[in-house]
Amino acid sequence: MINLDYLTLKALLDENIDFLIGGRLQKIQQPTRRDFILSIRNQRESRKLYININPAFYHLVFMTPDGEKRRRLVIPKQPPMFCMLLRKYIEGARITDAVAVENERIFELHFECYDELAQTRSLCLCIELMGKHSNVILYDRETSLIIGCAHNIGSEKSRYRELQGGLKYVYPPKVNEKNKVQTPLYKILEAKNINEALDAYYSKIQEEVNIKTEKSKLFILTESKLKKVKNSLSKIEDLLKKRDKTLTYKRLGELLTANLYLKADYQSSVEVFDYTEGCTLTIELDKTKTMNENAQKYFKLYNKSKITKEKSAKILEELNVEKEYLENIVYGINQSENLEELEDIKSELGLAEEMKAVKKSRPFVSKIEIDGFEVYIGKNNKQNDYIISKLAKDEDYWFHTRQCAGSHVLLKVNNKEPDEKILFECCKLARKYSSASQPSKVGVIYTKAKYLRKPPAAPLGYVTYRNEKEILI
């Protein structure tokens, strides 16, 4: 990434100076502690001046609609204290001048406003774009006293320059000449419209960083849930293997019933001949009970074990459904290419209640064409569910990898029957858009959409199927 330099900042100012001077600051918003949006109106036009003081990609630009969409800025319900301070002093004020301080990455907006006594007051919003020292400072131009800063800097943080309310504002120390940029960023970008080029450049970087951050958060959350489900599955399966004596209890009860004629009442054990195994078997007995009572005890143990096994099987089935669902979530996170797709996943996991930007709209589903046939590919559970519930018709073909997280692939037939070549190409797409490792062969199943069923209360994208065929890809 190339950092913003003074020459680019100056060029940006020159390009927008006519709009800035005389403009009215209508609204101030602060999405995060490092983002600011100043809504300015002038010449019958409104623009949003975006200020970012993140050390990784500090910049200042008028946001285009596309740049704003990429950044996905969410305005908090409760504005930060510094935002409230800015609103108190300069919201509604007129911009009298805009300055790029010579040879510095400092941009100043001068405001004419009124104090409590209706006296004219000249204030300056100073935007310092200097890596880890980036800051936004509001100070009085007449007295140079700082009213407030986005980040207060005390003596413990810097011995050269303190920034906090009540202190005098002074420019930062001059840097070495050798540190000056030789080729400005706007020339490297070959920009005809500097603002649009900078907005596209930095919004793309922000989008990539946001995608990476959101993916990391969702991975941590989902992998944690998936690990718990896998541990539960493993524990229940191990317990069933170690403690499953259902058939043994039944066999012992039947053998005792068949050998009641031995009259081994109130004994600690009895020897019987096991016809199924062809050998003599010693059965432990409760010597306080008759032989028939011991047989009934084993039948009770058999019924109890049978019920436990049935309940465990049901729990295992539910856990396997949850495991498959979470694996598809992980696959969906991996496949996501933009913030909208990640927000679909956040919404699905119940993490997006506070985000008004998440709309209940039709998800975007990838579509390609193969020899005149339309093929739809889902990237996450929301898209997969949309394919199954909205796009699929009875005679359409559905494809998915067996026992492996992946996309739902739908082949629309539209009254034309596809040949084996088309079906094989769709199987290859299902294999490609799955979490299966590439060198190994994977089974791809396909069936008609009319043979799909979504169980009641099943998670998004989950279906059962029948009459399927399988191809190894």
* Burial profile 111-140: b = 16 or more Cβ within 10 angstroms, e = fewer: bebeeeeeeebebbbbbbbbeebbbbbbbb
Residues 6 or more apart whose CB falls under 8 angstroms from that of 320 comprise: 233
Token match 């050798």: residue? Answer: 178
Are residues 454 and 461 in contact, defined by beta-carbon separation less than 8 angstroms? Answer: no
Longest CA span, the chain: 114
Q: In the chain, count of helices (H) and strands (E)?
A: 10, 19
Q: Which alpha helices (DSSP H) does 336-386 contain, by range?
A: 339-348, 381-386
Q: Which residues pair with 2 in a beta bridge?
A: none
**What stretches of 253-378 adopt beta strand conformation (E)?**
269-274, 279-284, 366-370, 373-377
Cα(361)–Cα(352) distance, rounded to whole angstroms? 14
Are residues 447 and 465 in contact, defined by beta-carbon separation less than 8 angstroms? Answer: yes
- The predicted structure's pLDDT at residue 33: 94
Are residues 56 and 132 in contact, defined by beta-carbon separation less than 8 angstroms? Answer: no
Cα(300)–Cα(294) distance, rounded to whole angstroms? 10
- The predicted structure's pLDDT at residue 359: 45
**Structure tokens belonging to residue 441:** 């062969």
The DSSP code sequence of 406-467 is: B--EEEE-TT----HHHHHHHHHHHHHTBSS-SSS--EEEEEEGGGEE--TTPPTT--EE-S
Select from 188, 176, 227, 195 the least CA-distant residue to 60.
Answer: 195
103 φψ region: left (φ > 0), alpha (ψ -120 to 50), beta (else): left
- The predicted structure's pLDDT at residue 357: 41
Are residues 387 and 463 in contact, defined by beta-carbon separation less than 8 angstroms? Answer: no
- The predicted structure's pLDDT at residue 356: 42
Are residues 382 and 352 in contact, defined by beta-carbon separation less than 8 angstroms? Answer: no
**Structure tokens belonging to residue 422:** 């088309």
Cα(138)–Cα(167) distance, rounded to whole angstroms? 11
**Structure tokens belonging to residue 141:** 């131009």
- The predicted structure's pLDDT at residue 174: 77
Are residues 378 and 402 in contact, defined by beta-carbon separation less than 8 angstroms? Answer: no
Per-residue pLDDT of the chain (473 residues; tens, 9 = 90+): 889 999 999 999 999 999 999 999 999 999 999 999 999 999 999 999 999 999 999 999 999 999 999 998 999 999 999 999 999 999 999 999 999 999 999 999 999 998 777 789 999 999 999 999 999 999 999 999 999 999 999 888 877 789 999 999 999 987 665 455 578 999 999 888 999 999 999 999 999 999 999 999 999 999 999 999 999 999 988 888 777 788 888 999 999 999 998 888 999 999 999 888 889 999 999 999 999 999 999 999 999 988 888 898 899 999 999 999 999 999 999 999 888 888 888 888 877 544 444 345 677 889 999 999 999 999 899 899 999 999 999 999 999 999 889 999 999 998 889 999 999 999 999 999 998 867 788 999 999 999 999 988 888 888 999 999 999 98
- The predicted structure's pLDDT at residue 238: 86
For 426-431, which contacts have Cβ atoms below 8 Å and span 24 or more sequence positions? 426/370, 426/375, 426/397, 426/399, 427/399, 427/471, 427/473, 428/473, 429/368, 429/375, 429/377, 429/399, 430/399, 430/400, 430/401, 430/406, 430/473, 431/401, 431/473
Rounded to two decimals, the pTM is 0.75
Residue 333 three-state SS: helix
Q: What are phi and psi of 99, to 5 degrees?
A: -135, 135
